[in-house]
Structure formats: C-alpha cells, structure tokens
Amino acid sequence: MRILFDECAPWPLSKHLMGHTCSNPVKEGWRGIQNGELLKLAEAKFDLFLTCDQGIRYQQNLKGRKIAILQLSSNDWILLEKRASEVLAAIASIQTGQYQELTLED
C-alpha cells in the first residue's frame, strides 16, 4: 500500500510499516498544503492518508474520496511505537475510500 503521512503524523512510524511505501508532504514537495488540497493531490498517487488530525472528518468532506484515511488518536511517538502492530492491523483492514479512526491507549 502507498501511504502518505500527514505532517502531524510522526515519520518514525514509517519504519514500522514494513511492506508499505511511505512518503510525506515534505518528500512530495507539498509542505504547507492544507488538508483539502493535500487530499486531492494524494488521491492521485497514494492509497492511504495517515493523519493524527482529530478534526479532519469535520473540516473536510470525506464522502466520495478514493483514498482511505486512517486517523490516529495520538501523535505521541512513544505510544505509537508501542502500538505499531495495531496501526499495521488497521492499515491491513481499511478499504479504499474508507475513513477509520484508531484509538490508541497506553
């Protein structure tokens, strides 16, 4: 799966997503582009948008999106590193165009 990390998602998590191709807005030359435009750009190149933005479902119209969106409940790197297997499982189960929230607790 081709995954685009939102700027708010900790990049070190990408090392735990074996078998997936990961990128971020900086690598793509999209630094500072807001989520609405970022999602449009990402849909042409990625399968999944990974974000920690708790408000994305309220700020963006997610209906009819071709890209899957996985919203993590935290961007705390220590917590995400401990729960990387749960993130991987969520990525494996998400469908094209689906929005899913993953609540991670310590």
pTM above threshold 0.85: yes
Q: What is Dmax (Cα atoms) for the chain?
A: 35
Residue located via tokens 């990974």: 50
Interior/surface letters 52-85, b for 16+ CB within 10 angstroms, e for the rest: bbeebeeebebeebebbbbbbebbeeebbeebbe
pLDDT tens track, the chain, 106 positions: 999 999 999 999 999 999 999 999 999 999 989 878 899 999 999 999 999 988 887 777 677 788 999 999 999 999 999 999 999 999 999 999 999 999 998 7
CATH class held by domain 2-102: alpha beta
β partners of residue 100 = 70
- For residues 16, 17, 21, 23, the Cα torsion angle rounded to the nearest 10 degrees is -60
